[in-house]
Chains A and B, each alone.
Chain A
Amino acid sequence: MTAESKVTSMREAIALHVPSGSMILLGAQLEQMIPFAAGHELIRQGRRDLTLVGPISDILFDQMIGAGCVSRVMAAWVGNVSAGVGYCYRRAVERNIPRRLEVVDYSNLTIALALHAGAMGVPFLPTYATLGSDLLKRNGNLREFSSPVSEETLVAVRALRPDVAILHVQRADAQGNAHMWGSLGVAVDGARASQKIIIVAEEIVEPAIISSDPNRTLIPGFLVSAVVHEPGGAHPSPVQGYGGRDHAFFREYHERSRRVEDFEEWLSHWVLQVTDRRDYWKQLGAARTDALAVKEHAFSAPADFGY
């Protein structure tokens, strides 16, 4: 019996699985494999009142906040990693532009632990991190408690169970069994903690390719709701073995998001006026996309699973 393929378009996947008001995990692999194509589709479909969850989001959170899609952020860091602050984030927090934004500040360890607790199916997990900090005072999901097994105070990090995790990966089969390598961050826990998973893949491959290397299968397909084939869908963030980081794009965004008028122009040019990722890729231009292509492949040695 062949299971039905979960492969669908980005438009369909977002329309079906991510309604307004959803809590979404994005940017789980930190600076790599950020699902920009999915974020842009969420903006185009006019989602509102989203809660964004992620450790450090780089500029995707900033764009979605600037586009008015977001009412709450639960993250350790929001900005532009190589350029500095996120201007849309600042405008939203400081001046409610374009709308009010609630921020729940985590550290990297505590957001990772919250997702790990979600993945483990327990209400919280303990840590020493954030003791003595103002994060502990201001984030209601971090609570001090006395250890029942030692004479210590620890922090209970409440489990997070996002409605949907959107993960960009190198390759997946039509069922969503996904191979991922490079910077993993909180992707594995984040996927398991979430109620639904959308896999965005550079390549759709035969199941035999995935099952030939099960240690690299970091997301099992039976947990996945939709699979989107979207090469280049993580640009400007890098995908190991598929494309480099477009540093200039991050810098340009930094300049063009400084003033709200310029940001709106940027958003129109790169998101709203763009029909889909193919269109976006065309707009980037061959010179730019060629420069990001892998110059020198570096394949790992095959692992023998024989017996």
Chain B
Amino acid sequence: MTHRSETNNSITRSYNFSELMVAAAAREIRDGEVVFVGMRLPMLAFLVARRTHAPRAVGLFENGIIRETPSTKLLYTMGDPPNILGATQCGQMLDVMGLLQQGRVDVGFLGAAEIDRFGNLNTTWGHRDNEMQRLPGSGGACDIACLARRTVVLLAHDRGRLTDRVAHITSPGFGTGGDWRRSHGLPPASGPSAVITTLGVLRFGHDGEAYLASVHPGISVEEVLANTGWALRVAEELIETKPPAEAELNVMRELDPNHFWTR
């Protein structure tokens, strides 16, 4: 699926929705921030951010690796040898998890099989045709969701995945809203910040409920609402997601020339 965007009468390069998601995710990283990097699209997002607007961002990996100069090789896992070579530090898992628990991780990226209106994530139990499907589980996702100052979630947008209430809270968002996180003992400055989907970007109100903050170019609000499993609120000042810039696309295509991750 590719999309050609027309802005100011000039036609920019075509891109696909994965690339749009990577660019949007990269922009969630501010310069100098400490980032808990996941694999796949978030990994690319971290690399794009580092090479464009956030050259001083630091990447933490849950296997204990800290990197300030991202690997230029396409990684299939965070333990791939190119992710070790040139690392700032290769410590233990608890070293980076300790930084996370101290509140020193600004933003963590997560994927999910299911997310609900309060940003709770499920990666433990899926369902299809009324049959429960066992999914791989938390990994470090629950830890990041509990402890990172901001959590950014990436997933495909459909009714089955954006659901009113997740079947299993693997990684807590805002629970049932309000002061749920605080009452459960989670750190005060923490929780979901953005949900980047194939159709738009959701953010969260003070009550902890998600709202549609931006729609991707060529996508209508109706389409987003029809593909969301609850009555999604829409921002009064809804914007259009900015398409990937030339520089962002260049980084993505240099690192993932065969579109292994950005299909």
A contact residues vs B (CB 8 Å cutoff): 29-32, 55-56, 58, 75-79, 81-82, 84-86, 89-90, 93-94, 103, 105-110, 112-113, 116, 127-135, 144, 152-154, 181-189, 237-238, 240, 244-245, 247, 250, 298
Contacts and interface: CB of A to CB of B under 8 A. Distances in A.
B171 A133 contact: yes
Nearest to B62: A108
The contact size tier of chain B is 35 or more
Contact of A185 (B63, B76, B175): B63
Contact of B136 (A29, A78, A94, A245): A78
A132 B169 contact: yes
B186 A93 contact: no
Interface string B42-79: 00000000000000000000111100000000001111
B93 interface: yes
B185 A154 contact: yes
B93 A94 contact: no
Contacts, number: 181
Interface of B: 39, 62-65, 76-81, 84-85, 90-94, 97, 100-101, 124, 131-143, 145-147, 168-172, 175, 180-181, 184-187
A245 B146 contact: no
B80 A238 contact: yes
A94 B134 contact: yes
Contact of B79 (A30, A110, A134): A30
A182 B136 contact: no
B64 A184 contact: yes
Given A30-B63, A30-B78, A109-B140, A134 B132 contact: no
Given A56-B139, A184-B92, 11 more contacts: A31-B78, A76-B137, A77-B138, A84-B136, A94-B132, A128-B185, A131-B186, A153-B184, A184-B63, A238-B79, A240-B81
Contact of A31 (B77, B169, B180): B77
Contacts of B85: 240, 298
Nearest to B65: A183
A112 B94 contact: yes
Contacts of A131: 146, 172, 184-186
A129 B77 contact: no
Query: Which of B77, B91, B141, B186 has most chain A Cβ within 10 Å?
Result: B77
A103 B133 CA distance: 14
B13 to A, nearest CB: 28
A240 B65 CA distance: 13
A90 B137 CA distance: 11
Contact of A134 (B63, B65, B170, B184): B170
Contacts of B171: 133
What are the nearest 8 A-B pairs in CB distance?
A31-B79, A79-B136, A132-B172, A132-B184, A77-B139, A108-B140, A107-B142, A153-B185
